[in-house]
């Protein structure tokens, strides 16, 4: 089945219902959205010569054109390669080459940069909004092209907190399973609801569009094309019944925004993509009410590994409410989740090990990378590289990425539990805990802290909350922590900077 069939159906059943909003202005109804997508499909397969299965890249920040491009590509039976527009031109060029994209559609702010780094394999680069782009919509509509469930729909380049990004192949089946599970587990969207694309559509937020098209909800794209907390709060107030995906750093920024809104206008804010510390989650619930759900997923099983449902987050009287807030919830309906040791042997409840996933949402592999595919999908399970443990009720607590775990004096220390304690200090804005190589201990715990606090206060907090051996041996106060383009803290970069600091200190001392 072609995912764009949901759009074809909506164009008939809900022709006049708003589908795409530019800011809060209705730009396309479902009839218009489907018509433009089918015209673009005709141009892609006609004059532009794309053939079934060819990849077409979209390099654009969020825009009202985005979904027409995505669905036009699918309508034509092609595969989309959404590229993060915040990447460096050379990184974009690398993805274009690796994906073998035949054609790229790039927004005007970035088209020049893409052109400067375009690989020889890219036959055509068209600037969104140009006369050439407008011409694509003059073609006679193409009928929806057939696709098999296992055909490639979206080549999802991982955010690459280490090394080169890899292209996770997401099929029509993967994205359909992901969308059904979203509607049953995360947010049972109704026709007429709104999805606000405040996070990048090339990544987190774009994946939410499919469930919303399936339910004929509206997709609103902020005029800024980025994340502006004040704009987001204004847009939510304008349209009661709005949901959105927000990474934890975005939720923190919403909390700092002065604009007051009626929280009842929020339908659901879904957080995920990185750990949300409990203190921040409680601040968010206090300000906006129990209108949150959490998802845990990764590009290889998009949005779909576990879910902490809204009802759990709202259940403040539950004796284990805080524990549950600190967890990533229960296994998502579309997958099975298992905790295993290094030999893939299942571990008992309560024991920490690598999180493995299998089911219809899990990718069939990485694009043209059989070694990485074989390693990731060993034994039919996706090896997430995340460490976690289930409790007796089936709630999954994520410890950390396996490589982030600190081993000090033979004891395993998960940075997240130390970070949770430090974040309880009201002056701490951000914190990241890493291991520093040490001759005596193997590694010692080091906390990088942004905010107003001193080492004595932080130490006292640790002593009141966690074992002595987990306490940071050193606190480094910084303005901000290194992050990637998705706002994820780069522990690898922090470890590198820390090693450099240590070298400089040794030099000064000698």
Binding site for ligand AMP (CB under 6 A): 158-159, 272-275, 294, 296-299, 328, 384, 386, 398, 401
Contact 282, 366 (CB under 8 A): no
Minimum Å distance from CB 347 to ligand AMP? Answer: 18
Q: Where are the extended beta strands (E) located within 71-202?
A: 79-83, 103-106, 124-127, 152-157, 167-171, 194-196
Nearest CA among 134, 153, 179 for reference residue 43: 134
Task: Find, among 214, 158, 223, the residue nearest to 24 by Cα.
Answer: 223
Q: Is residue 443 classed as helix, strand or coil in its secondary structure? A: strand
Q: Which letter does DSSP use for residue 264 in this model? A: G
Give the nearer residue to ligand AMP in terms of CB position, either 273 or 472.
Answer: 273
> SS3 of 371, please?
helix
**Least distance between ligand AMP and beta carbon 191 (Å):** 28
Residue with the two structure tokens 């590694």:
443
User: Smallest distance, Å, CB 401 to ligand AMP?
Assistant: 5
For the bound state, the minimum distance from the C-beta of residue 297 to ligand AMP, rounded and expressed in Å, comes to: 6
CB of 431 to ligand AMP, least distance (A): 15
| Spatial distance between the Cα atoms of 275 and 189, rounded to a whole number of angstroms | 25
Closest CB to ligand AMP among residues 165, 229? 165
**Degrees (nearest 5) of the Cα angle 350, 352, 353?**
135
Give whole-number Cα distances, 359 to 181, 356, 380, in Å.
Answer: 12, 11, 9
For ligand AMP, the closer of residues 22 and 274 by Cβ is 274
Residue 40's Cα: distance from chain center in Å? Answer: 27
496 Cβ contact list (under 8 Å, min separation 6): none
Q: How far, in Å, CA of 112 to CA of 119, rounded?
A: 14
Nearer CB in complex with ligand AMP: 139/382: 382
Beta strands in 118-204 (DSSP E): 124-127, 152-157, 167-171, 194-196
Tell me how far, at minimum, the Cβ of 420 lies from ligand AMP, in Å. Answer: 12
Q: At what angle do helices 415-423 and 455-465 cross, to 10 degrees?
A: 120
Closest contact distance (angstroms) between CB of 413 and ligand AMP is 17
Q: Could you tell me the smallest distance in angstroms from the CB atom of residue 123 to ligand AMP? A: 29
Q: How far is the CB of 108 from ligand AMP (least distance, A)?
A: 27
| Residue (205 or 298) nearer to ligand AMP, CB | 298
State which residue, 193 or 400, has the beta carbon closest to ligand AMP.
400
> Smaller CB distance to ligand AMP: residue 232 or 399?
399
Of the two residues 77 and 165, which places its CB atom closer to ligand AMP in the complex?
A: 165
Nearer to ligand AMP, 62 or 159 (CB): 159
Q: Give me the least distance between CB of 148 and ligand AMP, in Å please.
A: 25
Could you tell me the smallest distance in angstroms from the CB atom of residue 85 to ligand AMP?
16
Q: Quote the CA–CA distance of 306 and 355 in Å, as a whole number.
A: 11
Q: Nearest 5°: CA angle at 203, between 119 and 366?
A: 60
Read off φ and ψ for residue 334, nearest 5 degrees.
-85, 0
Q: How far from each other are the two terminal CA atoms of the chain, in whole angstroms?
A: 68
Q: In degrees rounded to 5, what are phi and psi of residue 27?
A: -100, -45
Pairing of strands 18-22, 218-221: parallel
Closer CB to ligand AMP, residue 296 or residue 448? Answer: 296
Whether the Cβ atoms of residue 73 and residue 126 lie closer than 8 Å to each other: no
Q: Which of 388/472 has CB closer to ligand AMP?
A: 388
């Amino acid at each position: 089945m072609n995912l764009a069939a949901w759009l074809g159906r909506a164009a008939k059943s809900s022709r006049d219902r708003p589908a795409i909003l530019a800011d809060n202005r209705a730009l396309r109804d479902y009839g218009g959205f489907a018509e433009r997508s089918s015209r673009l499909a005709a141009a892609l397969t006609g004059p532009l010569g794309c053939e079934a299965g060819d990849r077409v890249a979209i390099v654009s920040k969020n825009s009202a054109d985005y979904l027409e491009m995505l669905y036009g590509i699918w309508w034509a039976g092609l595969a989309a390669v959404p590229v993060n527009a915040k990447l460096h031109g050379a990184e974009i060029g690398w993805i274009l080459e690796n994906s073998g994209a035949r054609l790229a559609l790039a927004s005007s702010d970035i088209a020049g940069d893409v052109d400067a780094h375009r690989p020889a394999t890219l036959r055509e680069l068209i600037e969104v909004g140009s006369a050439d782009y407008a011409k694509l919509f003059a073609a006679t509509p193409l009928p929806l092209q057939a696709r098999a469930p296992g055909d490639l729909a979206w080549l999802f380049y991982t955010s690459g907190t280490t090394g080169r990004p890899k292209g996770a192949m997401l099929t029509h089946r993967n994205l359909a399973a992901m969308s059904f599970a979203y509607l049953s587990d995360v947010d049972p969207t109704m026709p007429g609801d709104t999805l606000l694309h405040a996070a990048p559509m090339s990544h987190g937020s774009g994946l939410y569009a499919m469930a919303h098209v399936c339910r004929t909800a509206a997709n609103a794209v902020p005029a800024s094309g980025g994340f502006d907390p004040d704009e987001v709060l204004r847009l939510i107030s304008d349209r009661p019944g709005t949901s959105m995906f927000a990474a934890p750093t975005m939720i923190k920024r919403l909390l700092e925004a002065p604009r007051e809104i009626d929280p009842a206008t929020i339908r659901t804010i879904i957080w995920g993509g990185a750990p949300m510390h409990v203190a921040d989650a409680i601040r968010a619930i206090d300000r906006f009410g129990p209108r949150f759900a959490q998802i845990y997923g990764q590009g290889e099983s998009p949005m779909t590994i576990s879910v902490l449902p809204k009802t759990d987050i709202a259940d403040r009287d539950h004796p284990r409410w805080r524990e549950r807030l600190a967890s990533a919830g229960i296994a998502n309906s579309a997958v099975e989740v298992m905790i295993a040791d290094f030999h893939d042997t299942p571990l008992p409840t309560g024991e920490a090990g690598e999180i493995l996933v299998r089911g219809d949402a899990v990718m069939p592999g990485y694009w043209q990378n059989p070694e990485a595919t074989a390693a990731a999908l060993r034994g039919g399970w996706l090896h997430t590289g995340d460490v976690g443990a289930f409790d007796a009720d089936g709630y999954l607590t994520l410890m950390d990425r396996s490589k982030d775990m600190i081993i000090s004096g033979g004891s395993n220390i998960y940075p997240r539990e130390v970070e949770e304690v430090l974040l309880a200090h009201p002056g701490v804005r951000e914190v990241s805990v890493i291991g520093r190589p040490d001759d005596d201990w193997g590694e010692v715990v080091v906390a990088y802290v942004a905010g107003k606090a001193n080492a004595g206060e932080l130490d006292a907090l640790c002593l009141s909350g966690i074992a002595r051996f987990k306490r940071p041996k050193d606190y480094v106060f910084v303005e901000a922590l290194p992050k990637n383009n998705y706002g994820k803290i780069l522990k690898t970069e922090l470890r590198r900077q820390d090693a450099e600091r240590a070298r400089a200190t040794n030099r000064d001392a000698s």
